[in-house]
Chain A
Amino acid sequence: MTATEPEMSTRLRVLTRLGFWGSLLAGLLLPWTIMLSVDIFVRHIPFARAWRSFSLHLFTPGYNFFLIGVLTAVPFVVLAVVILLHLGTAPVQHALVPRRRALGLACAGLGMLAHAGRTHAEVLIHPDAQGALAYLYLPIVLLAILPVGYGLGRILATMLLPRPSA
């Protein structure tokens, strides 16, 4: 059973909104979640102490967890705007167009999340003197992953969602 056009339109509208806000929140919260997780699961620090230490260092010069979160969030803000303007403006009459765009953007978002997550975890688990530089390069790398991930997603979409024969 296939979805009707209004159902499809509603789903896409929800997906676009979720993608937009999800991207913003994920970009900002991902580094902070990883910082807390590394303290709790790798360093075996009790949650209450890990949370206290985290909140203490949010604005402390030399740590600045807040700015680390904001720096990582910047490419995700760009992704959110792309979702809004690219997926949000897709024509609903041609269901294939928004679905292919959605798959492209999902690939870009997942690729960015995976790379950001891996980088943050690496820096925290294997700290070294130059580790903090990763936080500066990460936004640039994530911005580069966005079009690459989108392109791969579109290729995948072409294979998985073939154009219906006339």
Chain B
Amino acid sequence: MTSSSISSTVLTAHEIKRHLLGLILFIGLLGLWYWLSTGTRAVPTLIEMLQDDDPSTRIVAAEQLGQIGPAAQAAVPSLLAQAMRDGSQHANTTAAGALKSIKLSAARQVMTHFIARLHNPDAQQRRTACAVLGSLGPIAKPAVPALLAMAQDADELVRRNALMALASIGIPSPLITAALLDGLRDSSSLVRQTAVTQFAFTVPLTQPIVAALTPLQEGPDKAIATLARSALDKPKPGDATQIESLGMMVQHSPARDYALHQLAQLGPAAGEALLPILPLLGDEQPLIRYLASEAIGAMGAAAKPALQRLQERMQDSDPVVREAIADAVASIESGTTVVTEPSAHETHP
């Protein structure tokens, strides 16, 4: 006679315990599956996926590698190949976007490659080049002069992509804002709409932007008028609460890069946020150290208290961060924002 047959309940206490143990094991197996499929453990599989025939697989793999960050260094060669040689523009942009989170110098390699392509006679090549440069975000700051030239291209899609890329790079803010304001007067409504969209969703407002957008609210183009209203609903220039919230955001991991990028675009007005930014110069992620240096540099003379900390970090392990720190020091010492000049190979023919 088994224990269950003499049990007075449907299951014996022993059986209940065994089932509960089974449940714990089940949950443990799910946890193990998740652990093995995420973080650095997933890098080898994701590198294999970058070689897949299906572009959507390569795109998803690149996105995941970007999320893993510097720990995905092993994927840099494959991501470089995807960013520069893949036939799918979306695969190019996602790989480039991933590289900026993994290795800044690799992202700069992609930038150099696509700056040269901006001169290609094929308009599609120029459109792709603009899109990839935009996906690099503020890391592609040295590409700004070349992209400013592209904003005057004969092809409207090149002009549109160039404006989107400039807004995504965001720094140095005055040059980019001027190009976007020019875009508001473009002959193509697509380009005008793209320019106002950047003010509505990406670029922080300054006084000239407010002045340019205000009349557009009542303009004949309804889409542009709606976007202009959305843009003008955003925090106004000099809004202390905005600086305060961005200063708080830099202290919280998921939004640090966004907040630092916004502060870098606000320039000297972001001086109030200097203290929370300073510790990020020693962050483990090169992208965060780079953005922190850019944000401090953009403050100009207002960031004088950061000079000593910047000088201590002059020997940063990442060459791109070192360059940004040197620019920031120069900017603070001269009391102006350093604007990168286009190098010979970056100028439009």
Contact = CB atoms under 8 A, between A and B. Distances in A.
A9 B8 CA distance: 10
A63 to B, nearest CB: 8
Contact of A52 (B4, B23, B54): B54
Interface string A48-60: 0000110011111
Contacts of B230: none
Q: In this complex, which of B10, B26, B54, B57 has the most chain A Cβ atoms within 10 angstroms of its Cβ?
A: B10
B67 A56 contact: no
A108 interface: no
Interface string B59-103: 010011001000000000000000000000000000000000000
Contacts of A62: 63
B20 to A, nearest CB: 7
Interface in A107-150: none
B42 interface: yes
B9 A89 contact: yes
Contacts of B42: 59
Contacts of B8: 91-93
Contacts of B9: 88-92
B124 interface: no
A107 to B, nearest CB: 18
Given A13-B10, A61-B64, A88 B15 contact: yes
Q: In this complex, which of B5, B16, B37, B63 has the most chain A Cβ atoms within 10 angstroms of its Cβ?
A: B16
Interface in A66-115: 66, 70, 77, 80-81, 84-85, 87-93, 98
A84 B20 contact: yes
Contacts of A52: 54, 57
Contacts of B56: 53, 56
B30 interface: yes
B29 to A, nearest CB: 11
A57 B56 CA distance: 10
B7 interface: yes
Contacts of B20: 81, 84
B7 A92 contact: yes
B228 to A, nearest CB: 21
A21 to B, nearest CB: 8
Contact of B23 (A6, A12, A80, A90): A80
B30 to A, nearest CB: 7
Q: In this complex, which of A20, A59, A91, A98 has the most chain B Cβ atoms within 10 angstroms of its Cβ?
A: A59
A24 B60 contact: no
A24 B16 contact: no
Given A88-B9, A88-B10, A59 B54 contact: no
Contacts of B63: 60-62
A34 to B, nearest CB: 19
Interface in A1-35: 6, 9, 12-13, 16-17, 20, 24, 28
B100 to A, nearest CB: 16
Contacts of B15: 88
A102 to B, nearest CB: 9
A32 B49 CA distance: 22
Nearest to A17: B19
B34 interface: yes
A56 B64 CA distance: 10
B57 A89 contact: no
Given A84-B16, A88-B15, A9 B57 contact: no
Contacts of B64: 59-61
Contacts of A93: 8
Contacts of B10: 9, 12-13, 16, 87-90, 92, 98
Nearest to A92: B10
A59 B37 contact: yes
12 contacts: A9-B10, A13-B11, A17-B19, A20-B19, A24-B23, A56-B60, A57-B60, A59-B42, A60-B60, A61-B67, A89-B10, A89-B16
Of all A-B residue pairs in the complex, the 10 with the closest CB atoms, nearest first, are A88-B11, A12-B10, A59-B37, A56-B60, A61-B67, A89-B9, A90-B10, A88-B10, A88-B16, A60-B60
Given A58-B37, A62-B63, A77-B23, 7 more contacts: A13-B10, A53-B56, A66-B34, A84-B20, A89-B10, A89-B16, A92-B9
